[in-house]
């Protein structure tokens, strides 16, 4: 596969100044992957002329034009490597004002290079937004944050020229252009960004944090592709059980398979998930991105994304009314261990669909749907653990049971880790898995893709919830060096903390347990569910956006998705009392103890989900009690706050 450059044009300053403008324009047009409209040509022509003027008094440095940011699917107008610093320049040709979106855009570019581009990590980065028709009287100051990323500078043409020509000489090692260009770009995209990048035909390596992660993800995708091709060639039906370490990208692996196969008419693939908010957000995000890039209508783009990503319950319900096989030959089930057992599915069918006597578990029914194909079909099950938050989840055993009792002609492909999850201790592996089993280590994702700042976060949360104080303290000490976690009893202060730490278009929001009913007294209503599309995708100017901090998402809304920064609102449903966590439900007008083990597990896992949703940092809010309200006495909240503080979480 031919490797593409990350830029359209690259040259040292001296040669850039000598090169004919038309020749530079020709290189830009030739490098473009799309037809270049006249407006774009003229914008490039103006930008090249302006950069020549701005750099006229310089002889050292390097110029890159249209430098790509794969994670964001966008290109930086110009990157200037000068005096050991990285200048990120976004030009709005013909603009007379500075749009909020453009300011966030250039800031995002600078932060992206800081976080994910190895050669830029320890360099000063100065984002500059140039509005070519603006006349501004503000001073163009370079104001660095602690990580050496400057706040965006809003400049007119004269200020831009002054900034570049009079930039203070720093005692920095010069940047070697070729080394900077070849430096690894190791992003950690959100699942939304990853899906958009895949939909744009970016390679897995372009959206993976490490070479090892990209290789591991590719190995798993290739193993599944081989299974699919083998099933087609031999007319077989196969099911794959894919496992992975926390944060290893199981959902991303599923999207890779579905995206690659969805374009082939003979073996259409679909990504299925029972996570309603995740499905809605991914469908909308893909549609918005696709419509914005191609110019097709949003409704047309949404139809395309809905064919690629579907709610598993809709897929299941459609199959109730026909005996025909589905159009898809390959189905990818996300979080397959959370499919419903026969009791839960029978209850749903009876109460919601008017179907009595339904006896199948969800795995039995779904395998049965794909078994309608006369020749071949493949099911890919993505298996996660530790975040069960719903009753009636069947677990991995239900899939195996269905194969052993009803679908014995199917072949089973699984990772060694999956086999350990289903083999009974007193039985040999072959007795349980049968002769049709094929164990493949490539079906396990062993490398974490999780947040570049929070690789130890899941460990810390596990220790916190299991009351392993010494281990929690040890991990927290390491975590706090790169991942801010603070504690407060003042929600307004928490909101200020979020606003201060989030930069550019980074997303933040408040989240709380779905059982946190008494937070209502503090302005957090979990009973009112946010629209996930607006909450996750719209900007802060929309009061329905997460960034507006008006609506709170619960574990059901946010599982499988992430924000950059979170405000975790902690209520009395999970409270720390006398050296252990106790579980409560608010019924009527009072709290009552939860004694059922499964319900306790769901509640603990709800907080596990909430505490692992932030990519960059979080603030924990435990409200003050109110002695005039028996449901919110100080004693109800103080134990939890004191426990969290005792672990070493800084208090603000």
Half-sphere exposure of 12 (CA within 13 A, CB side): 10
pLDDT over 80 at 449, yes or no: no
Dihedral-angle region of residue 648 (phi above 0 means left; psi in -120 to 50 means alpha; beta otherwise)? left
Residue 592 pLDDT: 97
- Phi, psi dihedrals of residue 259, rounded to the nearest 5°: -65, -45
Tell me the Ramachandran region of residue 162: left when phi exceeds 0, alpha when psi lies from -120 to 50, beta otherwise. alpha
Average confidence score pLDDT of the chain:
88
Which sequence spans correspond to the domains of the chain? 9-182, 191-445, 457-646
SS3 assignment, position 140: coil
Highest-pLDDT range among 48-52, 140-144, 222-226 = 48-52
Instruction: Report pLDDT for 82.
Output: 94
Residue 606: is its pLDDT beyond 60? yes
CA pair distance 546, 557, nearest whole angstrom = 12
Look at residue 580 and give its three-state secondary structure.
Answer: strand
Buried b (16+ CB within 10 A) or exposed e, 436-462: bbebbebbbbbbbbbbbbbbbbbbbbb
Q: Comparing 191-445 with 457-646, is the CATH topology the same? A: yes
**pLDDT tens across 147-164, in order?**
999 999 999 999 999 889
Q: Please write the tens of the pLDDT for every residue from 10-33.
A: 999 999 999 999 999 999 999 987
| CATH code for the domain defined by 457-646 | 3.40.50
The answer to whether residues 534 and 284 touch, using CB atoms and an 8 Å cutoff, is: no
**8 A C-beta contact, residue 373 and residue 385:** no
pLDDT of 428: 41
Q: Which CATH number fits domain 191-445: 3.30.420, 2.60.40, 3.40.50, 1.10.3210?
A: 3.40.50
Which contacts of 161-168 are long-range, i.e. CB under 8 A and separated by 24 or more positions? 161/53, 161/54, 163/126, 163/128, 164/54, 164/55, 164/58, 164/80, 164/82, 164/87, 165/54, 165/57, 165/58, 167/82, 167/83, 167/85, 167/142
**Measured between alpha carbons, how far is residue 649 from residues 315, 436, 562 in Å?**
45, 51, 22
Tell me what the mean pLDDT of segment 325-351 comes to.
Answer: 87
Tell me, yes or no, if the pTM score tops 0.85: no
pLDDT (tens digit, 9 = 90+) per residue, 199-225? 777 666 666 655 556 677 888 888 999
Helix (H, G, I), strand (E, B) or coil at 127: strand
Helical spans, DSSP H, in 440-564: 457-465, 469-479, 491-501, 532-537, 555-558
Sheet holding 580-587, edge to edge: 574-577, 580-587, 590-593
Region 539-543: mean pLDDT is: 90
């Amino acid at each position: 596969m031919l490797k593409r450059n990350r830029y359209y044009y690259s040259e040292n300053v001296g040669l850039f100044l000598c090169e004919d403008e038309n020749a530079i324009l020709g290189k830009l047009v030739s490098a473009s992957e799309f037809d270049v409209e006249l407006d774009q040509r003229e914008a490039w022509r103006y930008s090249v002329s302006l950069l020549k003027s701005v750099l006229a008094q310089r002889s050292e440095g390097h110029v890159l034009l249209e430098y790509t940011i794969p994670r964001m699917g966008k290109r930086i107008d110009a990157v200037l490597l000068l005096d050991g610093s990285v200048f990120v320049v976004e030009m709005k040709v013909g603009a007379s004002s500075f749009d909020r979106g453009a300011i966030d855009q250039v800031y995002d570019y600078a932060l992206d290079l800081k976080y994910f581009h190895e050669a830029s990590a320890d360099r000063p980065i100065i984002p500059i937004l140039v509005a070519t028709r603006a006349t501004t009287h503000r001073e163009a100051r370079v104001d660095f944050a602690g990580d050496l990323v400057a706040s965006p500078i809003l400049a007119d043409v004269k200020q831009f020229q002054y900034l570049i020509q009079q930039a203070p000489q720093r005692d920095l090692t010069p940047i070697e252009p070729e080394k900077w260009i070849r430096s690894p770009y190791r992003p950690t995209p959100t699942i939304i960004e990853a899906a958009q990048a895949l939909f744009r035909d970016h390679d897995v390596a372009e959206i993976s944090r490490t070479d090892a992660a990209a290789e591991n993800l590719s190995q798993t995708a290739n193993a599944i592709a081989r299974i699919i091709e083998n099933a087609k060639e031999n007319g077989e039906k196969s099911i794959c059980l894919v496992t992975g370490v926390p944060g290893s990208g199981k959902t991303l692996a599923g999207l890779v398979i579905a995206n690659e196969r969805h374009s082939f008419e003979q073996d259409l693939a679909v990504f299925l998930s029972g996570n309603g908010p995740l499905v809605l957000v991914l469908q909308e995000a893909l549609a918005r991105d696709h419509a914005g890039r191609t110019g097709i209508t949003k409704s047309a783009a949404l139809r395309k994304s809905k064919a690629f990503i579907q709610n598993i319950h809709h897929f299941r319900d459609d199959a109730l009314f026909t005996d025909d096989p589905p159009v898809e030959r390959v189905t990818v089930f996300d979080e397959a261990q959370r499919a419903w057992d026969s009791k839960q599915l029978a209850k749903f069918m009876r109460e919601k669909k008017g179907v009595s006597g339904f006896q199948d578990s969800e795995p039995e029914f779904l395998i049965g749907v794909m078994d309608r194909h006369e020749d071949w079909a493949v099911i890919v099950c993505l298996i996660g653990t530790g975040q069960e938050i719903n009753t009636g989840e069947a677990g991995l055993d239900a899939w195996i049971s269905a194969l052993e009792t009803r679908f014995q002609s199917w072949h089973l492909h699984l990772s060694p880790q999956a086999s350990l999850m289903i083999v009974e201790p007193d039985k040999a592996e072959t007795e349980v898995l049968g002769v049709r089993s094929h164990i493949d280590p490539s079906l396990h994702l062993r490398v974490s893709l999780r947040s570049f700042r929070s690789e130890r976060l899941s460990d810390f949360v596990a220790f916190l919830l299991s009351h392993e104080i010494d281990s929690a303290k040890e991990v927290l000490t390491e975590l706090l060096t790169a991942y801010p976690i603070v504690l407060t009893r003042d929600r307004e202060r928490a909101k200020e903390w979020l606003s201060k730490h989030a930069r550019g278009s980074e997303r933040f929001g408040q989240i709380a347990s779905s059982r946190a009913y008494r937070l209502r007294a503090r302005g957090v209503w979990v009973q009112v569910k946010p629209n996930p599309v607006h909450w996750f995708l719209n900007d802060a100017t929309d009061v329905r956006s997460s960034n507006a901090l008006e609506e709170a998402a619960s574990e059901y809304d946010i599982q499988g998705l992430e924000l950059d920064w979170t405000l975790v609102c902690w209520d009395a449903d999970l409270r720390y009392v006398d050296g252990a966590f106790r579980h409560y439900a608010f019924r009527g007008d009072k709290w009552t103890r939860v004694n059922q083990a499964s319900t306790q597990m769901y509640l603990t896992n709800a907080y596990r989900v909430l505490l692992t949703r932030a990519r960059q940092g979080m603030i924990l809010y435990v409200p003050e009690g109110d002695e005039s309200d028996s449901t919110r006495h100080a004693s109800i909240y103080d134990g939890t706050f004191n426990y969290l503080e005792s672990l070493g979480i800084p208090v603000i």
